[in-house]
Amino acid sequence: MNIMTRPLIPPAENPYTLFDAWMADAIGAEPVDPNAMTLATTTPDGRPSARIVLLKEVSEAGFVFYTNTLSRKGGELAANPHVALLFHWKSLARQIRIEGTAAPVSPEEADAYYATRPRISRLGAWASDQSRPLPERAVLEARVAEMEARFPGEDIPRPPHWSGFRVTPDRFEFWQDMPFRLHDRIVYAKRGKFWGGERLFP
């Protein structure tokens, strides 16, 4: 009996090449935010903490996302830069797990990306004390209105507490669903300047 209804994951010398191919497939298949990824950090006492963020740039230098650096995730990244990322594309029955280290992007990179955001999003970065208690929604709306008055045009500087992080991977795992839970998995680990890959039991 042939239980393989999908082709096996093709081995690659560089996991970024395979990531790019899978992301291209996801862009064509996922209806909403194919670049969504789970970011897992840890609290100072070692408890895991996870949330969805959006991948904004990927290259062999790493995976970039942006956030309020004074938020809960920002504090956790400052205390422990070791993180995990997870991409899950249900429509494709695929996932990619990534482990690595996060470091701030340069101010110039943060400025360049911030300038591409919609105006209301740039105002929101000033208005929101991300992760802190909000007495009622009207408080946030009033702050946004205050920022609209403060910055009436398109020239809205990037807040000093808003920037990005680049996750430099040292491990990738590609997972493809297969029938009867006999899934296909390939893991890549950094070995000096090169990547070594091997299949795993499901």
Domain count, the chain: 1
Please give the Cα distance from 94 to 110 (Å, whole number): 31
pLDDT mean over 176-198: 93
| Average pLDDT of every residue of the chain | 94
94 pLDDT above the threshold of 60: yes
Flag whether 105 is in a domain.
yes
Q: Is residue 8 part of a domain?
A: no
Over 60: is that where the pLDDT of 1 sits?
Answer: no
165 lies in which domain range?
15-116+156-200
Cα(141)–Cα(32) distance, integer angstroms:
26
| Interatomic CA distance for residues 54 and 39, integer angstroms | 9
User: Of 9-13, 113-117, 171-175, which range is least confident?
Assistant: 9-13
CATH number of the domain encompassing residue 92? 2.30.110.10
Look at residue 165 and tell me if it is in a domain: yes
Residue 136, in any domain of the structure: no
Question: Minimal CA–CA distance to 13: which of 187, 171, 196?
Answer: 196
pLDDT confidence of 116, banded at 50, 70, 90? very high
| Confidence (pTM) | 0.93
Please state the rounded mean pLDDT for residues 190-200. Answer: 92
Whether 128 and 140 have beta carbons less than 8 Å apart is answered as yes
Whether residue 5 is predicted with pLDDT greater than 80 in this model: the reply is no
- Alpha-carbon distance of 83 to 165, in angstroms, equals 11
Whether 180 has a pLDDT exceeding 80, the answer reads: yes
Question: In this structure, is residue 90 part of a structural domain?
Answer: yes
